[in-house]
């Protein structure tokens, strides 16, 4: 297993296209159709025998809680190819992503959104459910999101209560 963290602009378009194709297959039909998503600033990939088998996307952003700025490392697109699941690759990618966000990007919190069935998985990795509501930008204006929001303290001890604004597109 080889873990690599690269900025989006360091990855050839053909490789990104291939990765996005299998990620779309992993996620299948989405209840979030019609939502415009941000592009990842960073990609954490896990390779086995030279092929990418798992990945995590990172978006670096200053969001807000009740209007106060919060430096975020947004995690999204956590995916492992089906034939490589239950081998610890996603966990390794998540741990590498968290270390990178904490040590290199110096974010205050990691933040991800997920469905209810993924709460126990992320909870085992130290992520905590926080109440919303959470808002984000879309071409037609602000949208309120209803999925679960989880955070991981990196350089602040506790998540502040209040309305979360991603101050941009979701990840």
Average pLDDT over residues 124-139: 94
Average pLDDT over residues 130-157: 93
Residue 115 is predicted with a pLDDT of 86
Domain span at residue 134?
Answer: 2-165
In a domain, 170, yes or no: no
In a domain, 103, yes or no: yes
In a domain, 171, yes or no: no
Q: What percent of the chain has pLDDT over 90?
A: 77
CATH number at residue 74: 3.40.630.30
Mean pLDDT for the chain overall: 92
Split at pLDDT 50, 70, 90, the class of 146 is confident
In a domain, 42, yes or no: yes
In a domain, 139, yes or no: yes
Q: What percent of the chain has pLDDT over 70?
A: 97
In a domain, 36, yes or no: yes
Residue 142 clears pLDDT 90, i.e. is over it: yes
In a domain, 156, yes or no: yes
Average pLDDT over residues 103-112: 98
Q: What is the pLDDT of residues 42-68, one digit of tens each?
A: 999 999 998 899 999 999 999 999 999
Average pLDDT over residues 127-154: 94
In a domain, 12, yes or no: yes
Q: Report yes or no on whether pTM surpasses 0.85.
A: yes
What secondary structure, in 3-state letters, does the chain show? CEEEEEEHHHCCHHHHHHHHHHHHHHHCCCCCCCCCCCCCCEEEEEEECCEEEEEEEEEEEEEEECCEEEEEEEEEEEEECHHHCCCCHHHHHHHHHHHHHHHHHCCCEEEEEECHHHHHHHHHCCCEEECCCEEEEECCEEEEECCEEEEEECCCCCCCCCCEECCCCCC
Q: How many domains does the chain have?
A: 1
Residue 124 clears pLDDT 60, i.e. is over it: yes
Residue 26 is predicted with a pLDDT of 76
Average pLDDT over residues 109-137: 94
Q: What is the pLDDT of residues 8-34, one digit of tens each?
A: 999 888 888 878 777 777 776 665 678
């Amino acid at each position: 297993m080889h873990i690599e963290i690269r900025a989006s602009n360091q990855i050839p378009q053909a490789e990104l296209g291939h990765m996005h194709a299998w990620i779309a297959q992993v996620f299948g039909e989405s209840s979030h159709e019609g939502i415009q998503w941000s592009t990842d600033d960073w990609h954490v990939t896990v390779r086995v025998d030279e092929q990418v088998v798992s990945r995590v996307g990172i978006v670096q952003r200053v969001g807000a809680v009740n209007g106060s700025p919060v430096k975020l490392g947004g995690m999204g697109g956590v995916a492992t190819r089906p034939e490589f699941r239950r081998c610890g690759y996603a966990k390794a990618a998540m741990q590498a992503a968290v270390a990178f966000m904490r040590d290199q990007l110096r974010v205050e919190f990691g933040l991800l959104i997920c469905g209810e069935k993924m709460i126990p998985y992320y909870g085992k990795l130290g992520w905590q459910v926080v109440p919303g509501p959470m808002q984000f930008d879309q071409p037609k204006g602000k949208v309120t999101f209803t999925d679960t929001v989880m955070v991981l303290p990196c350089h602040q001890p506790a998540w502040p209560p209040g309305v979360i604004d991603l101050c941009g597109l979701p990840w």
